[in-house]
A and B are shown apart, each in its own frame.
Chain A
Amino acid sequence: MFAISKREFLRLMKGIKSIIIIAILLITAYFSAKFSSLLLTLDEFTASEADIIHTAGFLVLLLFFGQLFVMGLSHDVMNREMHDRTIRFLVTRTSRLSIVLGKFLGVSLFWFTCVAVSFLIVFFFSHSFDWLSFLQLMSLLIFQIALTILLSVLIPKPGFTMFLGVIVGLASPILGFWLTLTNNPWVSWLKFATPYYYLEEDYTFPIILVLAAVLLAVAHLVFQRREC
């Protein structure tokens, strides 16, 4: 499992798409932190809002485009191996559960590194580390990674998941926030199934991890039955 996660992490780190996304994240973190004090002078913020103003730009970027970034980088994390049949070298050596978990850990470690470095850049300017935002953001990304892995297991063609990745990446935050805020009784119950509902300051974010675990369990069940 750890061999797979290490390979996945290194592959993501070396990819040109990853380097571009890392650059976008770090530049956003740097400039949003640097000019956050300017933002404070433009509008009135509550004390708690002012506390996280340094991370605001970075948080908005990942809240709205996190799923797109994750899917952009990892939409083919499973189906590329199945399509190229390199998965055969893995399934004949280790359990399918180890493969799913290894991939999940590798991608998660990549995003943990990116987010942690970005928060450290913010820390350099704000001199405070916003643990709640960090944990909430990581929980959200973990959910998005699990969803990406599930789609990659469900859909065998990498070309299709790339296309679907853009749709899901753009639609999921819009849909998620709408479900969270809507009063429509027919659909509002669906908010409990979206991670965005648990991003309040009430420490309910661990539920996002439970949702991610459910997605991973489904991915494993599907992959377990899949012919490689």
Chain B
Amino acid sequence: MNIINTKQLFKKYGSVPVVKGIDLTVKKGEIFGFLGRNGAGKSTFINMLTGIIHPSAGSFSLFGMTGPTDEVKRRIGVMPDYSSFESSLTAMGYLRFLSELSGNKASKEKCLSVLKKVGLEGEAHKKTGKFSFGMKKKLGIAQAIIHDPELIFLDEPTSGMDAESVIQIHQLIRELNSEGKTVFMTSHNLDEVEKLCTRIAIMKDGQIAKIGSMDELRSYYQSTILVKIKHGEIPTSEVNQLTEWLLQSGEGLEMKEKHVIISVNHEKRIAEMIRAFNQCKVDIYRVEVEEASLEEIFLDEQTGHSIRKVM
């Protein structure tokens, strides 16, 4: 079931187009990651879907309903890119007020439980004016989930947080997803997106340049798998045969003392190489595999400078 469906969604400020006709579907239960440079249009896209700004053209539906209707708003949770809170309210007061606005005022126990989940236990009665940037980010996440929404929009949820908090928020996102909630997030932390997201879209100049799972993105970019094999003694009679087989499996072969380094374009080739070693009666002690990271794919898309690519 598609939870988000956009058709040629377009946004311009004055005469400057920021989002240039995006077609996108997000299915229930996904953790969808949106990547792109600053100004690529990620936040503008989320802001259109959540009713913060209006599209210049195109249409979208959430839960099959066109536009952010009141019912849709009750079913979504939004953490905007800029979390600013009324400084005179406490964290607890804010959560209770916003949950009431969503139609279901949260109990004090529920607020405390959500604050604990985001790492703000003990801060419930502190005024938000005294919160640090990271704490405001956490409260931004807390308010987005306080009313148990089915679809959660998180705009750079972990930026400005310390490492321990980032791990805690990652755990929370996985937990929310395991409860059946759909998460749509943007991030500059490529490692975070790679670890968390089931599907990823890379935005460039207001358009989706590439979309898919990590495996699909790797295949789009024909990215290579770098294989390092530590092996035992190769019988002199088998050296030529083994070299020939290895060259059939991949390229860039380097054979150093009891080490082989080779690039392959599919994991099936790794199995072929291991078979070749076995047939040549060469012991294998260690196999290391390095795939293209999202960072490499992202850089490749944004700059065209590939770190590793099949020639």
Contacts and interface: CB of A to CB of B under 8 A. Distances in A.
Interface in A81-95: 84-86, 88-95
A39 interface: no
A93 B102 contact: yes
A84 B80 CA distance: 13
Contact of A88 (B76, B78, B86): B78
Interface stretch (A3-11, A20-28, A53-61, A104-112): A3-11
A90 B51 CA distance: 10
B100 interface: yes
Interface string B72-91: 01101010101011101000
A104 to B, nearest CB: 16
Contacts of B53: 227-228
A86 B143 CA distance: 12
A19 to B, nearest CB: 14
Interface string A63-77: 000000000000000
A94 B70 contact: yes
A9 to B, nearest CB: 13
A84 B143 CA distance: 17
Contacts, number: 53
Given A7-B97, A89-B98, A93-B101, A84 B50 contact: no
B305 interface: no
Task: Output the residue of A92, A93, A227 with the most chain B CB within 10 A.
Answer: A92
B101 A90 contact: yes
A227 B98 CA distance: 20
B98 A86 contact: no
A127 interface: no
Given A3-B101, A84-B84, A227 B54 contact: yes
Contacts of B78: 88-89, 92
Given A89-B143, A90-B101, 14 more contacts: A3-B97, A11-B88, A84-B86, A85-B80, A85-B82, A86-B85, A92-B52, A93-B74, A94-B70, A94-B101, A94-B102, A95-B70, A95-B73, A225-B54
16 contacts: A7-B97, A11-B88, A84-B84, A84-B86, A86-B84, A88-B52, A88-B80, A88-B82, A89-B78, A92-B52, A92-B73, A92-B76, A93-B73, A93-B101, A94-B102, A227-B54
Interface of A: 3-4, 7, 11, 14, 84-86, 88-95, 225, 227-228
Interface of B: 50-54, 68, 70, 73-74, 76, 78, 80, 82, 84-86, 88, 97-98, 100-102, 105, 143
Closest 6 CB pairs of A and B: A92-B78, A3-B100, A227-B53, A88-B80, A93-B101, A3-B101
